Structure 1
């Protein structure tokens, strides 16, 4: 049985006493992922995200996140089929972290392909053709446009099977519309499209890499000479229009890089969307079964429900 250390690291315990990083001990042995393995996992996801059908206008390019990965690796070492109770990370406050799991595959490449292959049971805008949303939820997580950061873990377990886990930020809430259908890729980010012409490059929260600039390794003329430079130096090369310093938008807020202002999701206010502003109660339809309202089970299925029913869903 899984037990939790009451004296675990406060940064995780403050999120939840049942956080994965508070689990006592391990069952399996971690298979350490080197940089090549991490790059291959990210590339596999981005290759699959490029090819979605119908076309996505807002599909973002994924990047690796070590803070997410360490949690995925800890859960993989528990050799338990199913999802952990709490995997959010302190480095991304207010951000829901999703998860995909696989067992017994020979490689991460085949595990990720297995998740994607659930597309055979999926219709965009409808959901699962089997009538069971879990039959396609791995696929929709792989191609969720808002999932920009990924971290994975792998363990050898006593059963002889390998346990694969990938965690995603932002994690998915619903399966019908994992991305915005459009007639052309990158239509929602025309000036921030990657070299493939199909994935949106998100602006970093602070500034360009230290190698960018006239007195460093990559001066501005390199933007048009070398294809990789504009993605490492998006501000210098004009892909990202403004450097907003170290400002970030929390709790699902979005940054306007022209003005450095945050647009906050419902329930949150403040310059960086840091303040939770709860209503006195939920609307009457919260907690009612369909077709009369939203049952509590919808909290983890549809992204609008936690906002409309914050007390029922434990947000407030």
Structure 2
């Protein structure tokens, strides 16, 4: 009979491996398409960056947590814990900001031609790369406290207060830990979440108005086809919904993790935190028709060469 630790380890290994496989597929596909054609859409740059940072989130959390679940709890020292948690937090925050940019970009794409947002459409492609750089610099600086607070495994030290993350620890009282995270980590996240919720509401309104207009033009007897813009908007809405849902659940659970000493809370929180980066790539693969077009265009080129 398989023990609980082995079952958990296999679960995290499956989640990490499957999610990394999906994100790597998108990352390789978009990268090769960028160099060989056809021409990528501006939104594809956002999706490529999202796949890249989601891979970092999964690998930086899933692999060490899988090892810790299987009993390897002392494979990192203080420096290793600092760097691992730091890059995980940076990648997770970049996933948040990229999803926020994705929803904002779709609002600009669907905005009427006579609106102020339409002026950004000409230069939106040139703005994406500087926005990426700005997000990287911001999150690298924002998560500097992680380099200070994280330590090696708590069980190897004389620490009576703090939070044990199984293979690393934060040797600060829960109240102080929550206060620091609230002002340095959570408040910017709340701002990004608020932007995503606002833009998602606007996108839902635009889709509803577009549906009403198409239904009026074609009449009730015909089934109007879904436009590429509407399909892309639905995909973005689904991605945003998944992120906000899993992020909200994980944030609530993290409050209990700060106070509780149960390893099951840590396991559940880790699983929820990895759900979005593990599932978002498959949402794109299934719902974005451009993924199929780029894949088959690349496949045909490979068949011609061989």
TM-score normalised to the size of structure 1? 0.27
The structure carrying a bigger strand percent of its residues is: 1
The structure carrying a bigger helix percent of its residues is: 2
Higher relative contact order (Cα pairs below 8 Å, separated by 6+ residues): 2
TM-score normalised to the size of structure 2? 0.28
